[in-house]
């Protein structure tokens, strides 16, 4: 990593991140900051593999999970730019299985308790998680969660085409466009890319995003000659305590040999492995002067809030996330909250369940990245602290 000289003092970041490693909250963590196209901060600390005492390096590979959603959203925007797709097109035009939807009635205890959907699902609603689809991931015990789990909606060993067939038989959680719920929608978008472009999703991503941006370490599986670069994956011994200090290694998560060999489903919602180098290339493509794979107007559209006034986002078991709207592929900070820097209004951000985070501020022409591998570390205290320190150094 070549760090550009700057006037910024980031000296507080390394010891702050080291604290999480020393307390055994994180195995290791990499942090990076862009000021425009310049890399002005990079630091790696801790371990890529605790048990084998392998220090974390700049070239290690990470399971980025929901960071993948940004690339899938970019692929959709490229097809819109080409006139092959419309943002407000009904998805059933391309995926007829998702037409004529049924919706669970309020308080339904069985998935047969439904009513007809009042409108079709649109591409925009899939991008913004307002389609009525669910995830079968976070809302444990709900009627729709049980149905998603029973029908193996998240089964990595069935292709995207089969995912659409499974969803055809399941009701929506709510009428399209009537609320926000984090969902399987981005995997549906990856199948939409296949149908509209005529390419398999992995082929499309490589040809139109990964290769043009030089993201040579980003893929849905790690080839054997790179296996030693894949970081180990950990969880806290108490999954609900994000500051739990003892880490246990996860050898078979989310399934045995995950990311080490090809599988049938190339998940646009959470399937990629990437590196800090590659994620920096992706961030640079959103900032002025970078190598771009989208038109500037598409980037602006992605980074705008698309939720109606007064709406926000919320997660089961966590509750509302105040001050956040949602763009086309990530959250938008409408009003900085207690975990945000005071100057974060307008920021576009998201991350993955294992603690990889990205954020872009077009207003300040800066971006930040964090890479770690702890389960349930999305929007974690370490990421909040890093961002506040980054903004404090750059905007004082």
Mapping DSSP to helix (H, G, I), strand (E, B) and coil, where does residue 26 land? coil
Question: Same domain for 315 and 209?
Answer: yes
What is the CA angle 342-344-345, rounded to 5?
A: 105
Question: Same domain for 117 and 76?
Answer: yes
Q: Provide the pairing of β-strand 28-35 with 366-371.
A: antiparallel
Question: Same domain for 207 and 268?
Answer: yes
Range of the domain at 174: 63-219+263-272+298-332
Lowest mean pLDDT of 77-91, 306-320, 342-356, name the range: 306-320
Region 59-72: mean pLDDT is 98
The answer to whether residues 191 and 161 touch, using CB atoms and an 8 Å cutoff, is yes
- Residue 90 burial (C-beta neighbours within 10 Å; 0-12, 13-18, 19+): middle
Question: Same domain for 115 and 236?
Answer: no
350 occurs within a structural domain: no
Residue 104 has pLDDT above 80, yes or no: yes
181 occurs within a structural domain: yes
285 occurs within a structural domain: no
152 occurs within a structural domain: yes
Question: Same domain for 75 and 20?
Answer: no
47 occurs within a structural domain: yes
Residue count (the chain): 396
351 occurs within a structural domain: no
Q: Tokens for 77? A: 């925007």
Neighbours of 237 (CB within 10 A): 10
Question: Same domain for 308 and 393?
Answer: no
46 occurs within a structural domain: yes
What pLDDT does residue 238 have?
Answer: 85
Number of domain units in the chain: 2
Question: Same domain for 237 and 157?
Answer: no
Question: Same domain for 204 and 226?
Answer: no
Residue 244 has pLDDT above 90, yes or no: no
Question: Same domain for 74 and 119?
Answer: yes
DSSP-assigned beta bridge partners for residue 122: 90
Question: Same domain for 141 and 201?
Answer: yes
What pLDDT does residue 318 have?
Answer: 80
What pLDDT does residue 185 have?
Answer: 98
Question: Same domain for 82 and 49?
Answer: no
Question: Same domain for 184 and 327?
Answer: yes
Lowest mean pLDDT of 26-30, 318-322, 353-357, name the range: 318-322
- What whole-number distance in Å separates Cα of residue 44 and Cα of residue 371? 9
Label residue 233 by pLDDT band (50, 70, 90). very high
293 occurs within a structural domain: no
- What whole-number distance in Å separates Cα of residue 348 and Cα of residue 362? 8
């Amino acid at each position: 990593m070549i760090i550009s000289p700057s006037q910024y003092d980031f000296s507080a970041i390394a010891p702050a991140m080291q604290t999480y490693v020393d307390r055994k909250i994180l195995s290791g963590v990499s942090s990076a900051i862009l000021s425009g196209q310049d890399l002005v901060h990079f630091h790696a600390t801790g371990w890529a593999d605790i048990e084998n005492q392998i220090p974390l390096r700049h070239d290690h590979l990470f399971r980025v999970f929901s960071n993948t959603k940004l690339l899938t959203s970019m692929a959709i925007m490229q097809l819109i730019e080409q006139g092959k797709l419309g943002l407000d097109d009904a998805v059933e035009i391309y995926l007829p299985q998702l037409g004529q939807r049924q919706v669970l009635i309020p308080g339904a205890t069985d998935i047969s308790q439904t009513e007809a959907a009042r409108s079709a699902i649109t591409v925009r609603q899939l991008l913004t998680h307002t389609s009525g689809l669910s995830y079968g991931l976070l809302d444990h015990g709900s009627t729709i969660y049980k149905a998603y789990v029973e029908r193996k909606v998240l089964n990595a060993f069935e292709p995207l085409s089969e995912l659409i067939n499974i969803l055809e038989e399941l009701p929506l959680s709510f009428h399209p466009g009537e609320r926000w719920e984090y969902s399987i929608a981005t995997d549906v978008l990856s199948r939409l890319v296949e149908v509209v472009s005529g390419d398999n999703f992995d082929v499309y991503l490589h040809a139109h995003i990964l290769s043009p941006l030089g993201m040579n370490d980003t893929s849905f599986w790690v080839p054997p000659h790179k296996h030693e670069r894949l970081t180990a994956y950990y969880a806290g011994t108490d999954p609900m305590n994000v500051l739990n200090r003892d880490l246990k290694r996860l050898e078979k998560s989310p399934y045995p040999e995950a990311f080490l060999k090809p599988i049938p489903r190339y998940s646009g919602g959470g399937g990629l492995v990437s590196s800090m180098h590659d994620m920096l290339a992706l961030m640079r493509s959103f900032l002025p002067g970078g190598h771009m794979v989208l038109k500037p107007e598409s980037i602006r559209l992605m980074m705008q809030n698309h939720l109606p006034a007064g709406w926000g986002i919320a997660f089961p078991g966590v509750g509302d996330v105040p001050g956040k709207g949602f763009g086309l592929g990530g959250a938008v900070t409408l009003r900085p909250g207690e975990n945000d820097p005071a100057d974060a209004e307008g920021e576009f951000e998201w991350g993955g369940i294992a603690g990889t985070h990205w954020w872009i501020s077009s207003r300040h022409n800066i971006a930040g990245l964090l890479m770690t591998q702890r389960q349930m570390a999305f929007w974690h205290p370490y990421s909040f602290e890093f961002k506040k320190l980054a903004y404090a150094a750059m905007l004082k």
